[in-house]
Amino acid sequence: MNEWRGKNIKILKKFFSASNYLFLFVSIISLFNVFLLSLPLTKYLGYEYSVLNSIFIVLISGIYTIVLLNNSSAEKFDIKEVSTKFITSHLIFVLVPIIISLFGLFRIVTCPFIDGIKFYTVLTLPAPIIGISLGLISFNASRKFKFPIFFGLLIVICSIPVLEIYFNPQIYFYNPLVGFFPGTIYDEAIEIDAKLIVYRLINIFYFGLLIYLLLQFLSRRSKYSIKTIMLVAVVLPLILVLISPYLGYSTTKSRIKKVLDKTLVSQHFNIHYASGIEDSLIKTIALHHEYSYAELRKYFNETPKGKITSYIFNSREEKGELFGSSNADVAKPWLSEIYITLDNYDKTLKHEIAHCFAGEFGSTIFNVADNFNPSLIEGIAMAADPIHDDFDLDYMAALAFNHGYKIDIKKLFKSFDFFLHPSSLGYII
């Protein structure tokens, strides 16, 4: 009995020893998830919790893969042994956040646990496959510069949605690191649909194929050269990027104009809308555009250069499909564009146009507040359009203050602390 216990303890010690770094990586993931439980948006198992874990596990999995391969013998590379270590360690990586998230259930249950499991399954479970693949690519590309290559690959993957959002009429994106981002973190209509599942299956197939080919190459069983494998690694994603608008994974101007197929040109706006909207209504909406423009010109004593492009969507569903952010209207100051839902135009139109005015003295390539400070970005638009749900902002702020909903203004305007408060309260204050 003592011999059996001693043998098992020896195996566990070897498994979690400092030499294979597994215990260190598990500890880092654990601390990260404990920290997530302290934040308002990630204090339970839901969309945000799953997305942040996906990003973090890709990072940890890639680094761990490189460390594991670095400690493996090149002459006696055992593909079975390495595969077993990959499966075991990365299974632990994805189980730790689930276990820690259970503690969040004892404090608050605002998101059904089953929905959280669905998000975690689709968004987070593929993360180790992606991380292992990127680690293998980096290790095989250059043993000397494996870590710079790994982080370079992460930067490339992160840059694709940035370019899509910057140049295309969209704010949503599909990306291997996060799965899907709907456009705003306050969008509560996020759900798992067939398109997202198919996208994640494509991710699993592509990165899984690379893992297979690269492990075969390391074990000297592959009939393909490393150049051929790297060519596959580059060509397949490029093909997906090119056809993504046709699959619904990105939106180009030509795609959006096929749906919003009519245009009304006014003095300061190019308004794109669907042919189903009555002419009398779109003329009324155009008058609202021009009236808001006139008021904002007086407020800012400044006007945007050129006309503002306005996209009017028939429904939230249509807007979510083509642009993203189905429940929130959005402006892109750097493109001088606004995106409005038809049934909401009278509530948000002036606010979104205000962002385009503010863009004239914004900074960075996005023409927004310095350091992307969300309190400044939204604060200037709220000040220019000081009505919230048909009430004056000062009145709403006084109600909040008198009923104990108080926010430290200095903290609110510090960095990204805006997102640490309830959205409605942050906008009002």
Q: Where is pLDDT greater, at 290 or 230?
A: 290
Digit-coded pLDDT (tens) for 11-64: 555 554 444 578 889 999 999 999 998 887 788 888 999 999 999 999 999 999
Specify which of 17-31, 194-208, 212-226 reaches the highest per-range mean pLDDT: 194-208
Percent of the chain with pLDDT over 90: 54
User: How high is the pLDDT of residue 18?
Assistant: 42
Domains of the chain: 14-251 (no CATH), 257-385 (3.40.30.160)
- Per 3-state DSSP, the chain is made up of helix, strand and coil in percentages (nearest 5) of 65, 10, 30
User: How high is the pLDDT of residue 22?
Assistant: 84
Q: What value does the mean pLDDT of the chain take?
A: 86
Percent of the chain with pLDDT over 70: 83
pLDDT band at 191 (very low <50, low <70, confident <90, very high): confident
Q: Which of 80-84, 154-158, 337-341 has the lowest mean pLDDT?
A: 80-84
Continuous H helices in 306-406: 316-322, 345-358, 374-384, 393-402
Residue 10 has pLDDT above 50, yes or no: yes
Digit-coded pLDDT (tens) for 123-158: 999 999 999 999 999 999 888 899 999 999 999 999
Tell me the C-alpha to C-alpha distance, in Å, between residue 210 and each of 129, 141, 207, 224, 232: 10, 13, 5, 12, 8
Distance CA 306, CA 388 (A): 29
What the block records as the tokens of 168 is 């295309």
User: How high is the pLDDT of residue 287?
Assistant: 97
Provide the pairing of β-strand 269-273 with 262-265: antiparallel
| Contacts of residue 85, Cβ cutoff 8 Å, sequence gap at least 6 | 20, 68
Q: Which of 115-124, 142-151, 234-243, 401-410 has the lowest mean pLDDT?
A: 401-410
Q: Which of 118-122, 145-149, 307-311, 406-410 has the lowest mean pLDDT?
A: 406-410
Residue 5 has pLDDT above 90, yes or no: no
User: How high is the pLDDT of residue 428?
Assistant: 65
Residue 361 has pLDDT above 70, yes or no: yes
